């Protein structure tokens, strides 16, 4: 393999108050004890022209091994990635579809839950099981979801003997299909919980549970949200594979963005040597990231319910990882920014840090009407049906000119997961894949809870 990296990679917290860890402990820990997010101490370098494999799972092992080398051998990682991705319905795994001249969709929805989260979650499940079997331990995974993370996690871990999964999702803020994918599983270790609040409320519950060291230790908490570095790492791969397929040295990506994990993976790929031109942060009307890049002020507003619900987020957790880099890895600065966010619901990004971010990222916000018009326009011209999240990304991509080269929009979900929004846009219901039809006909089983940490802790403790 033509990679350059430390033989044993260490991970550091963005807040600087937790000890350095190796990959296995980062995987199982999720959020750092100081409230920060783990990042590699150094970025490995890789020559994408010298990737020797063609099968997706083998390319994944080649790209990911530097991050995991202290935990699993290269040959064993190939076996893990093969197991993780055997349930995908297309050999290409992440095929490119050309819609217009120099504009492509990278289809990331051919996994079991028809969303891009499958790429990371299925691999995460393999890695968790490997570690926990070796340690003869069990773990309690908690996660917040705006839709697709929860269903992907439940699908990935539903047969695990070592993991109990508690997923918090916001009442009325996920599509019916997304909810049923979470609430119809037969797994006895799966606990979907509907929270009377927003996604940000669900995410805050997860963070508060992790900060309770006594409870954390008692139930052995682990995380599968994109606060877990393993999630980000797995998503790096399809930037490399798509870039390689295009055979063009000038490529930009437009990424439907909520919690900032998927687009951060593209930025990491760039740090590893992939010569990406620009990364477009495509937001819906929940435009905190677009506003932040334009004004330098990261200011929390009330989350709006939209037809692209997985992006209805105000606190983009993974943005902290980028800020850490933008502030030259000064953890004290990040600590201060996060304190300001907690106390004042906003912070100001310093000029040098903002310029650092703007060097790689562009950002734009797409309205509900623009999203529907994009779905309609693309269908009328090409016959291709976009889901509303991918439509946000594709609409945003149209603001990029020829200087950005070939433009790839990440297709994050199958349109059948959002049939109401699609039908409202093109007056046609998208075809429902067989694997989804089975889910829709099952009986739902889930809990409903208020935002009450004491009750939630008790529910988790008595359920495992």
Residue 45: strand, helix, or coil? strand
Q: State yes or no: pLDDT of 7 exceeds 90.
A: no
Average pLDDT of the segment spanning 273-281: 97
Q: Beta partners for 190? A: 165
Least confident of 98-102, 283-287, 300-304: 300-304
Name residues whose C-beta falls within 8 Å of residue 87's C-beta, 6 or more positions apart in sequence. 111, 112, 122
Residue 14, pLDDT above cutoff 70: yes
Instruction: Specify the pLDDT at position 4.
Output: 46
Distance between CA atoms of residues 356 and 287, nearest Å = 20
Record the tokens describing residue 82, joined without a space: 């093969």
Residue 432 carries which DSSP code? P
CA 301 to mean position of chain CA atoms: 22
51 or 82, which is more confident: 82
Q: How far apart are the first and last CA of the chain?
A: 43
Reported as a pLDDT band with limits 50, 70 and 90, residue 134 is very high
Cα 247 to Cα 2, 276, 281, 351: the distances in Å are 19, 13, 24, 36
Write out pLDDT tens, residues 105-119.
999 999 999 999 999
8 A C-beta contact, residue 167 and residue 141:
no
Cα(209)–Cα(170) distance, rounded to whole angstroms?
17
pLDDT at res. 315? 87
For tokens 């299925």, name the residue. 122
> Do 326 and 357 meet the contact criterion of CB atoms below 8 Å apart?
yes
Other CB atoms within 10 Å distance of the CB of residue 148 = 28
204 dihedral zone (left: phi>0; alpha: psi -120 to 50; beta): alpha
Alpha carbons 21 and 123: distance in angstroms, whole number: 20
- Give me the mean pLDDT over the 352-380 stretch: 98
Q: Exposure of 83 by Cβ count < 10 A (0-12 exposed, 13-18 middle, 19+ buried)?
A: middle
Cα angle, residue 235 at apex, residues 232 and 241 outer, rounded to 5°: 150
Which position among 19, 117, 381, 427 bears the catalytic label? Answer: 117
- What integer is the mean pLDDT of 87-103? 94
Q: What is the pLDDT of residue 91?
A: 87
pLDDT above 80: residue 6: no
Q: Each residue of 314-339: pLDDT tens digit? A: 889 999 999 999 999 999 999 999 99
Interval 408-430 mean pLDDT: 95
149-189 pLDDT per residue, tens: 889 999 999 989 999 999 999 999 888 888 999 999 878 99
Q: What mean pLDDT comes out for the span 405-431?
A: 95
369 is written with which tokens?
């009407």
**Section 239-245 average pLDDT:** 96
SS3 call for 370: helix
**How confident is the model at residue 276, as a pLDDT?**
97
Average pLDDT, the chain: 93
pLDDT of the residue at 227: 86
**Full-model pTM:** 0.91
**CATH topology (fold) of 96-112+230-426:** Rossmann fold (3.40.50)
Residue 199 pLDDT: 87
Domain boundaries, given as residue ranges, for the chain: 96-112+230-426
Q: What is the pLDDT averaged over residues 393-405?
A: 94
- Tell me the average pLDDT across 443-448: 94
Mean pLDDT of 121-145: 93
- The confidence score (pLDDT) of residue 67 equals 97
User: How many CA within 13 A on the CB side of residue 143?
Assistant: 31
277 an active-site residue? no
Neighbour tally for 329: CB within 10 Å: 14
Rg (C-alpha) for the chain, rounded Å, is 20
pLDDT band at 418 (very low <50, low <70, confident <90, very high): very high
Q: How, if at all, do strands 251-256 and 276-283 pair?
A: parallel
């Amino acid at each position: 393999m033509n990679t350059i990296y430390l033989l044993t990679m260490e991970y550091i917290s963005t807040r600087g108050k937790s000890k350095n860890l190796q990959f296995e402990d980062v995987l199982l820990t999720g959020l750092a004890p100081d409230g920060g997010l783990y990042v590699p101490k150094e970025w490995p370098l890789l020559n994408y022209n010298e990737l020797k494999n063609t099968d997706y799972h083998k390319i994944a092992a080649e790209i990911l091994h530097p991050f995991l080398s202290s935990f699993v051998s290269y040959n064993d990682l190939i076996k893990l990635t093969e197991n993780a991705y055997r349930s995908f319905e297309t050999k290409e795994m992440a095929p490119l579809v050309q819609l217009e001249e120099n504009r492509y969709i990278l289809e990331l929805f051919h996994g079991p839950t028809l969303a891009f989260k499958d790429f990371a979650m299925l691999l995460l499940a393999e890695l968790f099981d490997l570690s926990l079997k070796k340690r003869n331990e069990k773990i309690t995974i908690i996660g917040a979801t705006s839709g697709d993370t929860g269903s992907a996690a439940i699908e990935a871990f539903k047969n695990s003997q070592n993991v109990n999964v508690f997923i918090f999702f916001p009442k009325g803020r996920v599509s019916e299909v997304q909810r049923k994918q979470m609430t119809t599983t037969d797994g006895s270790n799966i606990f979907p919980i509907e929270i009377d609040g927003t996604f940000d409320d669900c995410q805050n519950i997860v963070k508060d549970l992790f900060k309770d060291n006594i409870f954390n230790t008692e139930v052995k908490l682990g995380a599968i949200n994109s606060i877990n570095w393993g999630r980000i790492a797995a998503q790096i791969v399809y930037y490399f594979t798509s870039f390689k397929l295009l055979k063009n040295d000038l490529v930009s990506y437009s990424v439907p963005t909520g919690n900032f994990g998927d687009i951060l993976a593209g930025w990491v790929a760039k740090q590893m040597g992939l010569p990406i031109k620009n990364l477009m942060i495509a937001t819906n009307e929940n435009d905190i990231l677009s506003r932040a890049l334009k004004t330098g002020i990261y200011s929390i507003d009330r989350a709006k319910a939209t037809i692209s619900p997985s992006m209805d987020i105000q606190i983009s957790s993974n943005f902290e990882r980028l800020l850490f880099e933008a502030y030259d890895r000064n953890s004290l600065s990040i600590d201060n920014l996060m304190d300001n966010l907690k106390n004042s619901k906003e912070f100001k990004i310093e000029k040098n840090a903002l310029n650092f971010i703007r060097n790689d990222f562009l950002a734009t916000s797409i309205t509900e009407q623009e999203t529907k018009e994009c779905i309609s326009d693309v269908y009328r011209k090409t016959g291709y049906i976009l889901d509303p999240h991918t439509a946000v990304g594709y609409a945003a991509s149209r603001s990029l000119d020829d200087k950005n080269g070939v433009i790839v929009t990440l297709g994050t979900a199958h349109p059948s997961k959002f049939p109401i929004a699609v039908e409202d846009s093109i007056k046609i219901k998208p075809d429902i894949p067989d694997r989804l039809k089975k889910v829709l006909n099952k009986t739902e089983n889930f809990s409903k809870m208020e935002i009450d940490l004491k009750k939630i802790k008790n529910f988790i403790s008595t359920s495992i």
